[in-house]
């Protein structure tokens, strides 16, 4: 009863609008007969089956809930499984992942397993609000059109006290950056308490906004247990902040959904840092792609998400980063049989991608050529590492962007822009 290849592998099956589709890269173990048997085991263990036939199974349950392995590519070791939406609690990301990205990773019949992409059916997409702002809403808030939003991360990552932190933020904003964020491991330390940091930094932000006439954004990291994240978000709002940052992996999917609902009512932009993602996205044979994770983040409703730079210090190849940014920003995605599934996002707004990590002003021409201008560029060491300090580093970043958008070579433009010249001297 429902435990044979023929029960789960059906290459003639045509998925319908009620199916969630999961695409996997599969490496079977030597003891497993072939990819068909491996895919049957995956389909079973992620839905209604187990290792043996059971007396409690019925034809009714099987007919209603059995998934179908409808695509097996032996050459690329890729399979696709269609799961009826009835197998999932639509609004519960934790349950969806416990099914299609849970036990199956540990099965002995597999050597490696990588969830490449997920195509969510309409009824599941409609269970989520998605991003509150979208790219348009963020640009309207920051009052910046037609160029990348430019940001820095206060460095050292941790170590400054609240007043020093606020001062560095002021220098970055004064030098011309739109955004300053906390680093992923800065929350509330003995030497830098969250509440005081936010109050002092937003005071400086208001001063610099008045001085420059430009909108300036601070993205404080509220990462903590849920109850404290809610308190910290309220403290940010009470002090006039419009953004918060969360470490989406380390706070967990359930807390992420809850803090999103909490913030949705408060009109706060959510910046999603992905620290720890590489623990399970980096190995190209195992885990889950950043693309699949990014789609989950668009459903849950992050407004901005780190997706890679192609050229910086973190791994992330050109095709992969571009495909991630594509599925985050387009409303309908056409798939292929190797890396991407079809996805119709309905009314779910786009996420603004963030390129960050190991960047200096000298990367700007390549960044714009490879990734365009509809995203955030963030420079940590590439701002505070400028020979003349943070404010000069910020100016050099703005000058590099101005140069590229005016069709000028950086080194040529640097001849009459001293801050950029010093950046070229150090990192050229
Ligand atoms: C960048 C950064 C970011 C990384 C995260 C850091 O600093 O603040 O956390 O960009 O990587 O701590 O490394 P630098 P990703 O600019 O000094 O490198 O964006 O790939 O998730
Ligand atoms: Mg960081």
80-138 residue pLDDT tens: 999 999 999 999 999 999 999 999 999 999 999 999 999 999 999 999 999 999 999 99
Report the residue among 151, 273, 280, 357 best suited for mutation to probe ligand 1: largest number of ligand atoms under 8 A from its CB: 357
Ligand 2 mean position, distance from CA 40 (Å)? 41
What pLDDT does 118 receive? 98
Question: Which residues, in sequence order, are bridge partners of residue 218?
Answer: 180
- Which pLDDT tens digit goes with each residue over 41-82? 999 999 998 888 888 988 899 999 999 999 999 999 999 999
Report the residue among 356, 361, 363 best suited for mutation to probe ligand 1: largest number of ligand atoms under 8 A from its CB: 356
Domain tally, the chain: 2
For residue 361 and ligand 1, the question of a CB distance below 6 A is answered with no
153 and 252 within one domain: yes
Instruction: Give the up-direction half-sphere exposure of residue 211: CA atoms within 13 A in the CB hemisphere.
Output: 13
User: Nearest-5° angle of CA 95, CA 99, CA 102?
Assistant: 105
199 and 118 within one domain: no
Angstrom distance (rounded) from CA 14 to CA 19: 10
- Which pLDDT tens digit goes with each residue over 281-304? 999 999 999 999 999 999 999 999
Q: Any idea what the CATH number is for the domain that residue 27 is in? A: 3.30.70.150
What Cα–Cα distance (Å) separates residue 403 from each residue in 100, 283, 309, 375? 47, 37, 20, 18
Mean of pLDDT values over 5-24:
94
- Which pLDDT tens digit goes with each residue over 163-213? 999 999 999 999 999 999 999 999 999 999 999 999 999 999 999 999 999
What pLDDT does 1 receive? 57
Report the residue among 182, 315, 380 best suited for mutation to probe ligand 1: largest number of ligand atoms under 8 A from its CB: 380
Residue that is last in its domain, among 102, 125, 148 = 125
78 and 209 within one domain: no
Question: Which residues, in sequence order, are bridge partners of residue 352?
Answer: 304
Residue 335 pLDDT level (bands cut at 50, 70, 90): very high
114 and 144 within one domain: no
- Is there a catalytic annotation at residue 155? yes
Mean of pLDDT values over 269-287:
98
For residue 385 and ligand 1, the question of a CB distance below 6 A is answered with no
119 and 151 within one domain: no
Nearest CA to ligand 1 atom 10: 357
113 and 147 within one domain: no
Mean of pLDDT values over 337-344:
92
Report the mean per-residue pLDDT for the chain. 96
325 and 351 within one domain: yes
Question: Which residues, in sequence order, are bridge partners of residue 79?
Answer: 24, 72
For residue 356 and ligand 1, the question of a CB distance below 6 A is answered with yes
83 and 223 within one domain: no
What pLDDT does 130 receive? 98
362 and 297 within one domain: yes
Mean of pLDDT values over 230-255:
98
- Which pLDDT tens digit goes with each residue over 342-393? 999 999 999 999 999 999 999 999 999 999 999 999 999 999 999 999 999 9
Q: Does residue 9 sit in helix, strand or coil? A: strand
For residue 39 and ligand 1, the question of a CB distance below 6 A is answered with no
Looking at all shown ligands, the one closest to residue 155's CA atom is 1
154 and 57 within one domain: no
- Domain region containing 202: 134-427
Q: Any idea what the CATH number is for the domain that residue 231 is in? A: 3.20.20.110
223 and 107 within one domain: no
For residue 67 and ligand 1, the question of a CB distance below 6 A is answered with no
Q: What is the DSSP letter of 192?
A: B
Work out which ligand 1 atom sits closest to the CA atom of 153: 8
Tokens (6 digits) for 183? 């680093």
Residue that is last in its domain, among 91, 125, 159 = 125
Mean of pLDDT values over 260-269:
95
| Active-site residue, selected from the candidate residues 66, 260, 271, 273 | 273
Residue that is last in its domain, among 125, 152, 183 = 125
For residue 365 and ligand 1, the question of a CB distance below 6 A is answered with no
Nearest CA to ligand 1 atom 2: 357
DSSP helix, strand, coil percent of the chain (3-state; round to 5): 45, 20, 40
- For every residue of 274-329, DSSP letters joined together read -TTTHHHHS-TTSEE-HHHHHHHHHHHT-SEEE---SSSSS---HHHHHHHHHHHH
For residue 276 and ligand 1, the question of a CB distance below 6 A is answered with no
What pLDDT does 2 receive? 63
- Closest of 378, 335, 359 to residue 22, by C-alpha: 335
- Is there a catalytic annotation at residue 273? yes
Ligand 1 mean position, distance from CA 357 (Å)? 4
For residue 313 and ligand 1, the question of a CB distance below 6 A is answered with yes
- For every residue of 58-123, DSSP letters joined together read -HHHHHHH--EEEEEETTTTEEEEEEEGGGS-TT-HHHHHHHHTTGGGG-TTEEEEEEEEEE--HH
198 and 102 within one domain: no
């Amino acid at each position: 009863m429902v435990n044979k290849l023929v029960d789960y592998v059906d290459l003639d099956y045509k998925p319908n609008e009620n199916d969630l589709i999961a695409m996997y890269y599969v490496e079977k173990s030597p003891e497993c007969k072939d990819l068909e048997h491996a895919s049957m085991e995956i389909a079973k263990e992620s839905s209604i089956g187990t290792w043996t036939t059971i007396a409690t199974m019925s034809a009714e349950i099987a007919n209603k809930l059995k998934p179908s392995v409808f695509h097996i590519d032996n050459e690329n070791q890729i399979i696709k499984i269609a799961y009826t939406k009835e197998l999932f609690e639509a609004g519960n990301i934790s349950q969806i992942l416990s099914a299609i990205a849970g036990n199956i990773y540990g099965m002995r019949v597999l050597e490696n397993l990588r969830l490449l992409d997920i195509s969510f059916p309409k009824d599941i997409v409609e269970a989520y609000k998605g991003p509150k702002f979208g790219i348009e809403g963020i640009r309207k808030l920051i009052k910046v059109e037609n160029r990348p939003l430019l940001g820095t991360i206060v460095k050292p990552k941790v170590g400054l006290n609240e007043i020093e932190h606020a001062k560095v933020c002021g220098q970055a904003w004064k030098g011309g950056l739109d955004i300053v964020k906390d680093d992923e491991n800065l929350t509330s330390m003995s030497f830098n308490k969250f509440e005081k940091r936010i109050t002092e930094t937003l005071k400086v932000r208001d001063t610099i906004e008045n001085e420059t006439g430009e909108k300036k954004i601070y993205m404080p990291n509220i990462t903590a247990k849920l109850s404290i994240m809610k308190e910290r978000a309220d403290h940010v709002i009470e002090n006039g902040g419009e953004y918060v940052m969360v470490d989406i992996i380390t706070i967990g999917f359930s807390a992420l959904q809850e803090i999103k609902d909490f913030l949705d009512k408060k009109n706060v932009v959510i910046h999603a840092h992905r620290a720890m993602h590489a623990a399970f996205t980096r190995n190209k044979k195992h885990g889950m792609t950043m693309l699949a994770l990014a789609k989950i983040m668009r459903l849950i409703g992050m407004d901005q998400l780190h997706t890679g730079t192609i050229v910086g210090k973190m791994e992330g190849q050109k095709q992969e980063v571009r495909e991630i940014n594509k599925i985050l920003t387009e409303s309908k995605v056409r798939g292929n049989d190797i890396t991407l599934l079809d996805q119709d996002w309905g009314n779910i707004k786009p996420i603004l991608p963030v390129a960050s990590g190991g960047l200096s002003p000298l990367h700007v021409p390549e960044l714009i050529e490879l990734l365009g201008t509809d995203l955030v560029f963030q420079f940590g060491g590439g701002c505070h590492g400028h020979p003349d300090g943070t404010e000069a580093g910020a100016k050099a970043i703005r000058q590099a962007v101005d140069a590229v958008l005016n069709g000028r070579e950086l080194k040529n433009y640097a001849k009459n822009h001293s801050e950029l010249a010093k950046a070229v001297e150090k990192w050229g």
